[in-house]
Amino acid sequence: MPAKGLDVHIPSPGGCRWCGVEERQHMQRWKPPVGWHTWEPPTLEQRKERMQARRARQRPDGQALSAAIIPLAS
């Protein structure tokens, strides 16, 4: 089980456009609203969104953010 906690809900950028599963693991899946389907390439938009979501999640718990927000505190 690839449960790394943070990115479990973010599909891989090349994952199926309907369910986010990668092509080699896909076979047939059921997922509303499409029902049973085979792997289809994600749209460019989806790839971008997924990559952005991954990048956002990769930041260590807001540390980078707060460090950037409070640099003038002293």
Name the residues that contact Zn ion, by CB under 5 A: 16, 18-19, 29
Smallest gap from Cβ 26 to Zn ion, in A, equals 6
Nearer to Zn ion, 18 or 50 (CB): 18
Q: Phi then psi for 37, rounded to 5 degrees? A: -155, 165
Give the shortest CB-6-to-Zn ion separation in angstroms.
22
Q: CA-based angle 20:58:24, to the nearest 5?
A: 25
Helices (H), the chain: 23-26, 44-58, 63-69
Of 43 and 58, the one with the shorter C-beta distance to Zn ion is 43
Query: Is the bond preceding 33 in cis, omega lying within 30 degrees of 0?
Result: yes
Residue 12 or 57: which CB sits closer to Zn ion?
Answer: 12
Nearest distance in Å: CB 5, Zn ion: 23
